[in-house]
């Protein structure tokens, strides 16, 4: 698998390079880079605007990949897959559009404490009343009984990620979705991490709206997908207006929106990014990070000074090392050629109590040898910082 990533080769010619920051952005496979290069070398044209063969071919490429995305995330209809520039844009569009279309004054939005700022802060701007659904950092659990207690007759939306960018898989996710359904809440899921772990089956999952980025699943930066159930999207107003999202502009007060999904894709879409997304989906077929994720936890747990946060499951693991600030851990590891992330990870409400953490996240290029090297270097840090 390592040979699939030119950046690994390039960096390793300069020295040690162990990349454990796929949750921030994945390395890019050669097949994705080639697909994008081929597109710009041979097929570049704007979509839904031209009558010449090149433009028609661009439409074909775009819709072919939209269908590929639909299958990949388990959406029912192709019209439910909207191309955006990334998860943050998608989550902002969703918050604004859902608030305007479905919420009344005093309605409540229940948001899990696990959420990334991108999934939390857009709701603050809607004026809706926000209730935070707590998560234990000891067990990593959101308790269904806590959720039930929070729900009132004013509750209309649950915002809950299937995979946290700090503590990995969200425990009790299915149970929480079931409770939300029983109370007829709209479910919005930030799937930025879950999509990279190939865990999405959106139509069956009960999730009503989702958003993710391409760059955390081996595609380019600047491309993303917003998913919404067709029956709900049909009732919603777009947040971005511009070219190709209207069927007709009779006059400034009388416009007819384009059909789904185009009414939510104002302006020129990033077809180069969409091509990369298609190539990334092909690349990801058959990849399973689960065995390596288990190995990571077993090896890290051998360090007596290291505390894993929230009994993590999946390829994202955060920890604190006794006496050593996470920024120091990350910087010392960097001097050994190891790339990890440290801090609050844009999830400050989750980490407020325990402070910053160091995060290790796996990608398909990682191996057991990589993890052993990481563990070996982690074991030296306290001594290097002057602690016994």
- 278 to 317: interface string for another protein, x by CB under 8 A: ----------------------------------------
- Label the pairing between strands 155-159 and 129-133: unpaired
User: Do residues 329 and 363 make contact, with C-beta atoms less than 8 angstroms apart?
Assistant: no
Q: Which is nearer to another protein, 14 or 204 (CB)?
A: 14
Spatial CA neighbour of 316 closest among 134, 114, 176, 59: 114
Q: Which is nearer to another protein, 233 or 324 (CB)?
A: 324
**Minimum CB distance to another protein, residue 18 (Å):** 14
User: Do residues 230 and 80 make contact, with C-beta atoms less than 8 angstroms apart?
Assistant: yes
**Minimum CB distance to another protein, residue 320 (Å):** 11
Long-range (24+ apart) CB contacts under 8 A made by 35-44 are: 35/275, 35/276, 35/278, 35/279, 36/220, 36/272, 36/275, 36/276, 36/279, 39/271, 39/272, 39/275, 40/272, 43/275, 44/271, 44/272
**Minimum CB distance to another protein, residue 306 (Å):** 17
What's the CA gap between 123 and 106, in Å, rounded? 13
What's the CA gap between 176 and 160, in Å, rounded? 9
**Minimum CB distance to another protein, residue 111 (Å):** 20
Q: Which is nearer to another protein, 34 or 384 (CB)?
A: 384
Q: Using CB under 8 A, which of 10, 40, 241, 387 touches another protein?
A: 387
Q: Which is nearer to another protein, 105 or 388 (CB)?
A: 388
How many other β-carbons are positioned within 10 Å of the β-carbon of residue 331? 12
319-348 binders of another protein (CB under 8 A): 324-328, 331-332, 334-335, 343-344, 348
Q: Would you count residue 349 as binding another protein (CB under 8 A)?
A: no
Q: Would you count residue 19 as binding another protein (CB under 8 A)?
A: no
Spatial CA neighbour of 29 closest among 209, 282, 374, 315: 282
| Whether residue 346 lies in the annotated active site | yes
User: Do residues 227 and 202 make contact, with C-beta atoms less than 8 angstroms apart?
Assistant: yes
**Residue keyed to tokens 């160091």:** 358
**Which is the catalytic residue, given 81, 135, 339, 346?**
346
Q: Which is nearer to another protein, 256 or 335 (CB)?
A: 335
Q: Using CB under 8 A, which of 262, 356, 358, 364 touches another protein?
A: 356
Going 306 to 311 to 314 to 317, the CA torsion angle's sign is negative
* DSSP codes, 25-42: -----HHHHHHHHHIIII
Q: Would you count residue 122 as binding another protein (CB under 8 A)?
A: no
**Minimum CB distance to another protein, residue 120 (Å):** 16
Residues near another protein (CB under 8 A), total: 18
Q: Would you count residue 385 as binding another protein (CB under 8 A)?
A: yes
**Minimum CB distance to another protein, residue 121 (Å):** 15
Q: Which is nearer to another protein, 304 or 386 (CB)?
A: 386
**Given the rule CB under 8 A, which residues bind another protein?**
324-328, 331-332, 334-335, 343-344, 348, 355-356, 384-387
Question: Catalytic site residues?
Answer: 346
């Amino acid at each position: 698998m390592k040979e699939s990533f030119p950046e690994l080769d390039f960096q390793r010619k300069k020295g040690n390079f162990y990349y454990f920051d796929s949750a921030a952005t994945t390395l890019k496979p050669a097949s994705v880079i080639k697909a994008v290069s081929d597109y710009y070398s041979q097929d570049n044209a704007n979509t839904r605007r031209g009558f010449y063969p090149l433009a028609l071919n661009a439409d074909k490429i775009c819709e072919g990949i939209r269908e590929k995305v639909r299958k990949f995330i388990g959406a029912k209809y192709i019209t439910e897959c909207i191309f955006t520039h990334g998860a943050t844009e998608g989550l902002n569009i969703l918050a604004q559009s859902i608030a305007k279309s479905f919420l009344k004054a005093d309605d409540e939005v229940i948001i899990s404490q696990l959420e990334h700022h991108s999934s939390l802060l857009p709701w603050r701007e809607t004026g809706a009343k926000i209730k935070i659904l707590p998560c234990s950092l000891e067990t990593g659990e959101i308790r269904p009984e806590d959720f039930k207690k929070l729900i009132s007759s004013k509750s209309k939306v649950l915002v809950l990620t299937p995979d946290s960018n700090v503590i990995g898989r969200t425990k009790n996710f299915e149970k929480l979705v079931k409770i939300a359904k029983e109370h007829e809440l709209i479910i919005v899921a930030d799937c930025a991490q879950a999509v990279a772990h190939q865990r999405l089956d959106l139509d069956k999952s009960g999730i009503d709206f989702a958003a993710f980025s391409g760059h955390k699943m081996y595609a380019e930066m600047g491309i993303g997908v917003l998913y919404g159930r067709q029956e709900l999207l049909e009732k919603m107003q777009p947040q971005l207006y511009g070219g190709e999202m209207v069927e007709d502009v009779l006059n400034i007060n009388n416009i007819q929106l384009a059909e789904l999904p185009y009414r939510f894709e104002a302006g020129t879409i990033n077809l180069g990014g969409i091509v990369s997304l298609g190539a990334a989906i092909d690349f990801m077929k058959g990849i399973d990070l689960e065995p390596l994720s288990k190995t990571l936890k077993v090896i890290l747990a051998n360090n007596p000074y290291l505390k894993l946060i929230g009994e993590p499951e999946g390829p994202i693991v955060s920890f604190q090392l006794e006496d050593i600030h996470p920024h120091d851990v990350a910087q010392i590891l960097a001097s050994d050629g190891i790339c990890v992330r440290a801090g609050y990870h844009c999830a400050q409400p989750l980490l407020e109590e325990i402070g910053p953490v160091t995060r290790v996240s796996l990608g398909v290029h990682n191996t057991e040898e990589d993890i052993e090297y990481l563990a070996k270097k982690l074991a030296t840090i306290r001594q290097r910082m002057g602690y016994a």
